[in-house]
Amino acid sequence: MKAAILVFPGSNREGDVAKAIELVTGRKPQMIWHGDGDFEKTDLIVVPGGFSYGDYLRCGAMAAQSPVMAEVRKRAAQGVPVLGICNGFQIVTEAGLLPGTLMRNEKLKFICGDVHLRVETSQSLFTNRYQAGQVVKVPVAHAEGNYFADEDTLKKLEDRGQIAFRYCSSDGTIDTSGNPNGSIRNIAGVFNETKTVMGLMPHPENAVEPMFGGSDGKALFESLVEALS
């Protein structure tokens, strides 16, 4: 699996994603600077976390209009898989590749720590190495992760199985106690209609080695290798 990782001014998790991908593929991903309108064809494009363009105007709004994202939109339309993590999730929603948006956390605080997620489907490029209903533990680190979409959009997302992950308690219960940021219906990650684009606020790339607190995120990258190699 050949992967490209986009780098914007203010990105800061690109190295972590690169390590996670190298761990499961044995090859280093390409790093693509935001001003590059063209880059080598790859099997996967990753939009990493950070604070692209200082979060000016709205998180992800500036990055969504950068030259590299125009190319990503084109490739996503051709079916090239795109994974947006944290700020990358904000960028791909701002770019119109995923429905909804990420708002300020309900309690207005930056949150940093482990959360539990329920895997909503194993039927995707990104989640085939998980079981539907499985509870995993991965870290979050964000101030704007409060997912919002209008009722019509939510209904469509649920009817078409486009919810990837929901925040939950450690036993898998979906309620407010397991919801760290106020996301509507506890949504932590979503797919586009064709399930070739996925965005999520938590950081699976920071949960790939037991030494660093857990490895529940590794299966996400293994799923991609399984589907794209």
193 binds other proteins (CB under 8 A): no
CB 50 within 8 A of CB 89: no
Whole-angstrom CA distances from 133 to 24, 125, 140, 167, 200 are 24, 17, 20, 12, 17
142 is catalytic: no
Q: Which of 14, 86, 94, 120 is catalytic?
A: 86
Within 8 A by CB and 6+ apart from 1, the residues are 21, 25, 43, 44, 224, 225, 228, 229
112 is catalytic: no
CA 170 to CA 138: how far, in whole Å? 12
Q: Which is nearer to other proteins, 184 or 227 (CB)?
A: 184
Name residues contacting other proteins, limited to 40-69 (CB under 8 A).
Answer: 57-58, 61, 65
In whole angstroms, the minimum distance from the beta carbon of 104 to other proteins comes to 6
In whole angstroms, the minimum distance from the beta carbon of 34 to other proteins comes to 16
Size of the site for other proteins (CB under 8 A): 20
185 binds other proteins (CB under 8 A): no
86 is catalytic: yes
143 binds other proteins (CB under 8 A): no
CA 201 to CA 182: how far, in whole Å? 13
Q: What angle do CA 160, 58, 156 make, to 5 degrees?
A: 10
Of the candidates 60, 65, 114, which has an alpha carbon nearest to the alpha carbon of residue 90?
A: 60
CB 166 within 8 A of CB 134: no
Tell me which stretch binds other proteins (CB under 8 A): 10-18, 104-112, 161-169, 172-180. Answer: 104-112
- Number of Cβ atoms within 10 Å of the Cβ of 88: 30
Tell me which stretch binds other proteins (CB under 8 A): 81-89, 100-108, 112-120, 220-228. Answer: 100-108
Which of 150, 158, 175, 193 is in the footprint of other proteins by CB under 8 A? 150
Just list the catalytic residues.
86, 203, 205
Residues that bind other proteins (CB under 8 A): 57-58, 61, 65, 93-94, 99-101, 103-108, 146, 148-150, 182
